Structures are given as structure tokens and as C-alpha cells.
Amino acid sequence: MAVYVDDAVTLWRGRRWAHLMADTLPELHAMAARLGIPPRAFQNRTSGAHYDVTSELRLLAIEFGAVPISRHRDRELVRAVIRNARAQGRGEAP
């Protein structure tokens, strides 16, 4: 099982943001807690269960064991992670 953080470092409100996703929701919530992200920041949508993380938290997540994934280099893995996150958002996955 794994936690992933993408390289979709989007500019919003003057900061760069990425997405934290995981194979299971318990793993996702555990990593978010370890990063100090409050539960209210959880994005449980049909677009995919995830947390938005700043570029600084992205680096910390990687230090804590999250797998960095690139939408440019790891396209198949990214698609699989997003499919799983979408299923989690719809309540179809663990």
C-alpha cells in the first residue's frame, strides 16, 4: 500500500499546491495527520479523494515516505492512482 503526491504544483492564492492521494483512505488520513493537515481539509469528491498540499508539505510527505508521481513521466501510474481516488470519492474503494 502507498501514499502518493503528484507534481501538479498549481498556483493558487500565491502558493503552489499538489495532491496527496493513497491506495486506501486510512493511509491517506494517516499521512495527512502526520503532515499536520486537519481532517476538514479532506476533499471527498467524485473527482477523487485527496488532500491539497503546499509544495513545502509535498516535500515533507516525500520525506515521510509518500511516492512522488509525475503526470509527465508516470502517466499510467497517475491514471491508476486517480481512478482509485475517484472510486474512493464515490465510496467504491477502501
Encode pLDDT of 64-76 as tens digits.
Answer: 999 999 888 878 8
Q: How confident is the model at residue 48 (pLDDT cuts 50, 70, 90)?
A: confident
Residue 31 grid cell: 499521512
Residue 66 grid cell: 509518500
pTM score of the predicted model: 0.83
Integer-rounded Cα Rg, in Å, for the chain is 12
Beta bridge partners of 4: 21, 67
Residue 85 grid cell: 481516488
Helix and strand counts by DSSP (H, E) for the chain: 3, 5
Rounded Cα–Cα distance for residues 30 and 9 (Å) = 22
Q: Is 84 helix (H, G, I), strand (E, B) or coil?
A: helix
Domain borders along the chain are 3-89
pLDDT of 71: 80
